[in-house]
Amino acid sequence: MVKVAIAGGSGGVGREVIDALIAAKKHTIIVLTRKDTLAQEPTEGITWINVDYNDTTQLTKALQEVHTVLSFITTQDDPGSTAQKNLIDAAVQAGVKRFAPSEWASSRLDYLDWYAYKGETRRYLQELNKDKKVLEYTLFQPGVFVNYLTHPHQSARHLPSIGTPFDFANRRMILVDGDDGIRITLTAVQDIARVVARAVEYEGEWPVVGGIQGSNISIGEFIALGERIRGGLPFTIERVKAEDLEAGAWETSWTPTVDHPSIPPEQAVVASKYMTSRILLAVNAGSYAVPDQWNNLLPDFEFTPVEKFLTDAWKGKA
């Protein structure tokens, strides 16, 4: 039993992980939040602590006796990752053993410029351990959440449903021309949460790169999977050239709407088209194909087969 601190625990992925840790009934859990702790929903098994990520002294105090810090804070408006660097510094000063920065997606960051803070955090951690190991850490990387492929239907307790260029509901996809051999990793958020809970208990050393691989398939196999899941009917595939995506000169009959709290409604159309282009380029660059370090370290862990997950999620839906 150890004391685990969750930073940014009000988001979808963080709350899924919190549920998995509570279910394990093995740890003391604290959740660091920038919001008023009185406004948080009381949850048995966790303690809320209000923090200011600009105050390293306060963070250090909050992390006393903490064994593992799991970060889910997102700082798109802070590409220098100041908040997360302060959290890392506080973890070191408080004597924290393990740290997981806010990753939870791709292995590489090509084209995903809103993830600039992740790249800066990776650099900061690498520099921290340059001469000797100061802080044990892992980069949890699960690829694409399978749950997004059930949009607009919710398939997780907390992770919100988000539109992607892979629209199973309307049997259509937008893909980069000629990329059918590119591979993509699909992992259910429920499995990610359970892997993280197991990783907290893992007695060996955490790997720096911590890939979580539910299923690793080619784009061609991905199309076939979608068609099987959705009743055997063919998907409409619209192809765009990579150079047109990079130039912003691409046109399709539809574009997914990226509904995210960080995007003002008046900017949704422009932001959605831009993010779609960058996601497609990232897929084409192999950024969403992640390695399988945690699969190998937890060989008895049974991942939910992607086809079964989606078949169950779409059962009875038009």
Q: Which domains does the chain have, with CATH numbers?
A: 3-137 (3.40.50.720), 144-186+215-288+302-314 (3.90.25)
* Whether the Cβ atoms of residue 310 and residue 304 lie closer than 8 Å to each other: no
The tokens 């190998």 sit on which residue? 296
Output the pLDDT for position 293.
Answer: 98
Tokens read off for 129: 């351990």
Q: Which residues pair with 47 in a beta bridge?
A: 30
Coil/strand/helix, residue 74: coil
Counted residue by residue, the chain has a size of 318
Q: How many CA atoms lie within 13 A of 116 on its CB side?
A: 9
* Whether the Cβ atoms of residue 73 and residue 102 lie closer than 8 Å to each other: yes
Output the pLDDT for position 292.
Answer: 98
The tokens 């892997």 sit on which residue? 195
Give pTM, 2 decimals: 0.94
**pLDDT tens readout for residues 30-42:** 999 987 655 556 6
Tokens read off for 63: 């992390």
Distance CA 35, CA 134 (A): 30
Nearest to 164 by CA among 280, 299, 24: 280
Output the pLDDT for position 151.
Answer: 96
Output the pLDDT for position 36.
Answer: 66
State which amino acid sits at residue 174: I
Nearest to 6 by CA among 94, 76, 99, 81: 99
Q: How many CA atoms lie within 13 A of 238 on its CB side?
A: 16
Distance CA 35, CA 211 (A): 31
Q: Give every residue of the chain whose pLDDT is below 50, as ranges.
A: none
Distance CA 33, CA 9 (A): 7
Output the pLDDT for position 265.
Answer: 79
- The beta strand positions in 125-276, using DSSP E, are 136-137, 139-141, 144-145, 166-167, 172-176, 183-187, 209-211, 215-218, 236-240
Output the pLDDT for position 20.
Answer: 97
**pLDDT tens readout for residues 89-109:** 999 999 999 999 999 999 999
